[in-house]
Chains A and B, each alone.
Chain A
Amino acid sequence: MVMRLWVNGVEKEVQAEEDTMLIDLLRDRLHLTGTKKSCCSGECGACTVLVDGLPFRSCITPALVCEGRRVETIEGLGDAAHVHPIQQAFVDAGAVQCGFCTPGMILTAKALLEKNPEPTEEEIVEAMSGNFCRCTGYVKILDAVRSLVPYRPQEKEEKG
């Protein structure tokens, strides 16, 4: 069937069946390959996207769940000319190695910071804890998120 949703602020009409997962809709039908497919069973967080601002694992989320909703992928945050402050923080902190976990990490951090611009250390760890990384040992990812607190995206965006 044809479904309607907003992806990175743009309204889309796409074909989706009941068993179409959001990740496949994004990667295969909308060619947004920034969302990474890893465990494909909801365990690693690499495929995280935001649905109405909340982190969802797109590999286990049926696409139809997003009917009429706002989906945000890593491509929606910034591009070469407009670097989002969270992306910049990851670059500056050295939080990116192989990069496969990175889009999911950044979107998870975004969901946290938008809801709670001044998270405590425990709140950061709690919010990020479902995302796994095999390369970095997490230290610099935490550094990146911490460097954004208190989170004032507008201000930082203008600067960056």
Chain B
Amino acid sequence: MEKSRKEKYIGRRMPRRDALVKAQGRAKYTADYRTADMLWGKAVFSGMAHARILRVDAAKAEALPGVVCVMTAKDLPAAKKYGIFCADKPVIAENMILYEGDPIAFIAAETKEIAEEAAALIEAEYEALPVVEDPREALRDDVPPIHENHPVTGNAKVMAEVTLDRGDVDAAFAEADIILEDDFETPQIEHVYLEPDCCIARWVDDTDVLEIVAPQQAVYSTLRALAPVFGLPESRVRFISPYVGGGFGGKEDSCCDLAVIAGLLAMKTRRKVYSEFTAEEVFRYTGKRHGSYVHHRMAATKDGRVIGLDIDIILDKGAYQSMSGLTGGPHAVAQRTVLYAAGPYSVENVRIRSRAVFTNHPYGAAMRGFGAPQIHFAGESQMNELAHRLNMDPVAIRKLNMITPERPTSFGQVLTEENGLGLEECMDKVKAELDKPFMPKHPVRPSQRRGMGLAAYIYGTGMPYKSEGAMCVVHVNRDASVEVGISTTEMGQGAQTVMAQIAAEALGVPVETVNVPLPDTFLSPDSGPTVASRSTTFVGNAILDACRKLLAGFTEAVAHGVGCSPEEVTYAKGVFAAPDGQEIPLRRAIYMAATQAIPQSAVGIWYPPVDIGFGPKGGNSMHTYSFGCQGIDLLLDVETGEIELLRSVLACDIGHALNPQLVEGQMEGGAVMGLGYALTEGVEYKKGVVSNDSMKDYVILGFKDLPQMTSIIVEAANCMGPFGAKGVGEPPLVATAPAVREAIRNASDGVKLNRIPFTPERVITGIYKAKEGGQTS
């Protein structure tokens, strides 16, 4: 990629526009808007993961002075269930508790203390039911289904089943020189955004509108999911998302769980209501990355070509739909595990099945990577195993199998260089970096062994639906300053900054004059959810479209004004030039447009020009894909099982980097989150109730755990992206866990760990088992 670009703002390390207000504590998050006159809204929970509700009595709670209202299931005004894909989660549980986060009552009180006291006065009786924690167990005939009457699946145990069946898998396995077969396991993961969920709701009496302020990733998804719960048309519910203190996929759903509490209480009391989850409640009640159980079979030739894959994936769905996807579509996490089951490789014969199975765990939600980290752990581990078996270089074997313009994806999508195919460059650069000499800063103990490993990934930009597109409104004021109306959330990724760069570049105006307000369903058009690493590409393209339309209008206005044809007018850096030499600044052109009935606002829209449609026989899924490679260098203490990270080298092909500083930020944050996934993280349960519900017990990595971090940006431009961009938010953590596994394997003379996190106990058990002659899994 040529580096000398003609753009003024694109490709520059521009500091993010919200950095200073955040560094000065001036940035307002939802909780910062709370005032003393607000009621405290609180949900009451049963403390059980599976139970039949026999009785809920709120009389004593209602009688407590300072309690303004108590709601139980019978008091719900409209729809009793909600959900973004399907309405299956009870607003307030009536008969059944299916996981610990099912509330049995909502309370509004004058203070937090009174609300808590009232919660303790709610009397309830339950019949405890056997808790189902393992989705494989849930599928057994002797285990009753969790849902008796699910709105979509009835009493089925499988929420979503997605398959891919191509080529002749049995023939491939029959003629294979090598067959690898293994099981892999990953736990449920908490997002651990630092801002706990909270919500402010108020009934706006003079306009009969319910207004809800909450940290959200997708204001329009929240709106569509919850308007039926309030019994209001979508036009009379206003969702606003201020700055969001981290989301990572979780605040697509969790905001709904809070908004029903504050929203319904505000409607009922006609007062402002504030509601929050404590950090512990976030751990216990909100969605998680799906846990996974993968049975993986790989058929290969002795020269290293993968010719067949036969993979069965079982996902821990938890109690409700959230983001697993529906069997007939829309597809979501279950489908992504199928899509990426072959990794960034071209495999002709594949039989892949993924099932999201109900359990009594918190609902499996979206989390950074959306199914990809789980399936890459299995697939990339297996690819490394194949390299060991054949004594091949891990990069060489990947190059032999990778997707090329001639070798399509396992789902039959042909990708060309124009889509951006940067995997080879990523792998070469990671390997070159790992090959550089590096000495640990301290003396290595005799029990410490060094090991390195790498893994690769593929990750699509956007979602594989026909409805996947973006809309925006760009408005130019008379002084030529610009407002970009989008519903993209600012949750740390820097969307406002990048969108302003794009608009400023396209319109030729100073970036400081571009304003990108935060999402508000009354003011922002629906540019789609802030998910799927889609915003820069989809919303960015929509902004470009709007800017083009605006400039076309202004050009017409200028042409008419000076008496020439629009083709003769040129525009650069804020000035229109007419053929007679006249120069018309943008400001004047805008005024000319205003006098000629030419709009000063434009709706921009972008849908990828690709026929999208995934089915059991495959099909195009996303318009472009990001690729990357993660390298790990570590020390393993073979006596204690402790791992000390030395180096993390991550190369991401992200198309053209519109703002390299923001891209590096995503890469570094993703790598560390991926290292936590590999080494320490995982939700634990006792009888279905989350037992590690704090940062003391659920360990995320900190400063002291950091290895030397190298981020390498590879720019295989996406011809359809704005200025060549493609997605960057999620991919950086997709290949971390299998790279760590491989480094441990190499440090330990072949110990194979197939279950994350690699805690010292698991590592040491693996080492002992290997010594005894057996292998581990």
Contacts and interface: CB of A to CB of B under 8 A. Distances in A.
Interface of A: 27-28, 32-41, 43-44, 46, 73-75, 77-80, 83, 87, 90-92, 94, 96-103, 106, 125, 128-140, 142
B24 A77 contact: yes
A158 B493 CA distance: 32
21 contacts: A28-B36, A34-B24, A34-B25, A37-B196, A38-B196, A41-B694, A79-B24, A94-B16, A94-B665, A96-B16, A98-B195, A98-B243, A99-B22, A100-B245, A101-B194, A128-B703, A134-B191, A134-B194, A136-B668, A137-B665, A137-B673
From A35, A99, A134, residue with most partner B Cβ within 10 Å: A99
Interface stretch (B26-34, B141-149, B330-338, B553-561): B26-34
B25 A98 contact: no
Given A97-B493, A134-B193, A44 B695 contact: yes
A138 B279 contact: no
Which of B244, B665, B700 has the most CB atoms of chain A within a 10 A radius of its CB?
B665
B669 A103 contact: no
A98 B703 contact: no
B35 to A, nearest CB: 9
Contacts of B356: none
A33 B25 contact: yes
Contacts of A98: 22, 193-195, 243-246, 491-492
A78 B18 CA distance: 15
B16 A87 contact: no
Interface in B228-279: 243-246, 248, 278-279
Given A94-B664, A106-B23, A41 B672 contact: no
B671 interface: yes
B91 interface: no
Q: Is the interface of B mostly helix, strand, loop or mixed?
A: loop
B617 to A, nearest CB: 40
The 4 closest A-B pairs by CB, nearest first: A34-B25, A99-B22, A98-B492, A137-B668
B120 interface: no
Contacts of A134: 191-194, 246, 248, 669, 673, 700
Interface size, B (range): 35 or more
Contacts of B610: none
A43 B196 CA distance: 14
A133 to B, nearest CB: 7
Contacts of A40: 278-279
The residue in A32, A46, A125, A137 that gathers the most chain B C-beta atoms within 10 A of its C-beta is A137
Given A41-B694, A90-B19, A134-B700, A73 B25 contact: yes
Contact of A74 (B24, B194, B244, B670): B24
Given A40-B278, A136-B665, A96 B22 contact: yes
Nearest to A78: B24
A132 B194 contact: yes
Contacts of B669: 97, 133-137
A101 B245 CA distance: 9
Nearest to A38: B194
Nearest to B25: A34
Contact of A99 (B15, B18, B694): B18
A102 B22 CA distance: 7
Interface in B585-624: none
Contacts of B25: 32-35, 73-75, 103
A8 to B, nearest CB: 11
Given A38-B279, A94-B664, A97-B494, A44 B23 contact: no
Given A87-B24, A91-B15, A98-B193, 5 more contacts: A41-B279, A100-B195, A130-B702, A134-B248, A142-B706
